[in-house]
Homo-oligomer: A and B are copies of this chain.
Amino acid sequence: MNLRLELESRKNEVEEYLKNIFDPIVQANLRSAMEHLPNAGGKRLRPICAMLACELAGGRVEEVMPFGVALELIHNFTLVHDDIMDEDDLRRGTPTVHNEFSIPTAINAGNGLHSHAFDIVTRSNCSDATFRRLVREMAVTVRAIGEGQQDDIDFEIRDDVTVEEYFRMIENKTAKIFEMACRGGALISGASEEAVLALGDFGMNFGISFQLSDDHLDVVSLSHEMGKTSKSDLKKNKKTLIIVTAFEKAGPAERKILDRVLGNQSASEKDLDKAAEVLVKLGSVDRARREAERYAERAKRSLDFFSPSPAKAVLKALADYNITRKY
């Protein structure tokens, strides 16, 4: 099984479905702003998870497309708004929506993607009872993302964020939508409650592992072990697991090195490298990597419920790939 090809073929199906999805938007400027980020690419991991969950649960994959694409729209809406909040200028190699258009238009475009998701999901070919459940779970998922995002905002000015608070934040902000993707795929396929729960567990654990890998990559790239120069978590004073655990262990000298770059948008490369060295020395970088592996293992174990199948193999390979990926 070639994971890259498995992901690529499903990604193409998502892109195909996305092609005409903005046709109902009449207002030309709003439509351009709404299309901007979804058209700039992305891994399409959330709809792909929904497709794989549907396949694994024995459903027909074309029936999960509206739901999967609805989650992709929700994901994109949160990115458009996060970029305003974080004052980011670039995303996926292109200008962010508020940078290309304006802040009012970007707020409006994010809202358009948000409500459009609830329109698209009504195309789902499932029972009306399942549909009602999907809407409820989607709304609760968006609320969770908002709660996680609020923690992310609130934590920026706090130095005493606990490991428990960190996990609550990423469960809401990142993992819930993967849980929803997998649960929804199972629900639409008409699977048993046990199958829905098992796939939801996969999504939640995979999502946590995914965020931990992101946190890890952000710092590892700093120590020039990789070709990436993101460093943005440190400069934005984001409370990643790495920072939270480093604060617990750092002595005054180490803390001073960290404080020089945290929340400092103009921190020098040299200072950022020094901070990364401290984070490695304190064991925080390794801790994040180990936690990412632990949650990947958990994710794979969640699938023990199912007998072997091509879709199961792809999901397990996806969990493994996530902890080795370079970007």
Q: Which residues in A have some Cβ–Cβ distance to B below 8 Å?
A: 24-27, 29-30, 77, 81, 84-85, 102-105, 107-108, 110-112, 114-119, 121-122, 127-129, 131-132, 135-136, 138-140, 142-143, 146-147, 149-151, 153-154
Contact = CB atoms under 8 A, between A and B. Distances in A.
Given A29-B150, A129-B128, A150-B105, A111 B24 contact: no
A119 B104 contact: no
Contacts of A110: 111
Given A112-B143, A143-B24, A151-B27, A135 B118 contact: yes
B114 A138 contact: no
A143 B132 CA distance: 20
Contact of A132 (B85, B107, B131): B131
A14 B110 CA distance: 29
A122 B143 contact: no
A80 to B, nearest CB: 10
A150 B29 CA distance: 7
A177 to B, nearest CB: 12
Number of copies of this chain in the oligomer? 2
A143 B116 contact: yes
A112 B27 CA distance: 25
A81 B111 contact: yes
A24 B143 CA distance: 9
A136 B111 contact: no
A147 B34 CA distance: 11
22 contacts: A24-B143, A27-B150, A27-B151, A84-B103, A84-B107, A85-B104, A104-B153, A107-B107, A108-B150, A111-B111, A111-B114, A111-B146, A115-B139, A115-B142, A115-B146, A116-B139, A118-B139, A122-B139, A128-B129, A128-B131, A128-B132, A132-B132
A144 to B, nearest CB: 9
A102 B27 CA distance: 29
Given A119-B143, A131-B131, 12 more contacts: A25-B143, A26-B147, A81-B108, A81-B111, A84-B103, A85-B104, A108-B153, A114-B115, A115-B142, A119-B136, A119-B140, A128-B128
Which 5 A/B pairs are nearest by Cβ-Cβ distance?
A128-B128, A115-B142, A119-B139, A85-B104, A27-B147
A37 to B, nearest CB: 16
Nearest to A27: B147
Nearest to A104: B85
Contacts of A107: 81, 84-85, 107
A225 B215 CA distance: 61
Nearest to A117: B139
A110 B149 CA distance: 13
A85 B114 contact: no
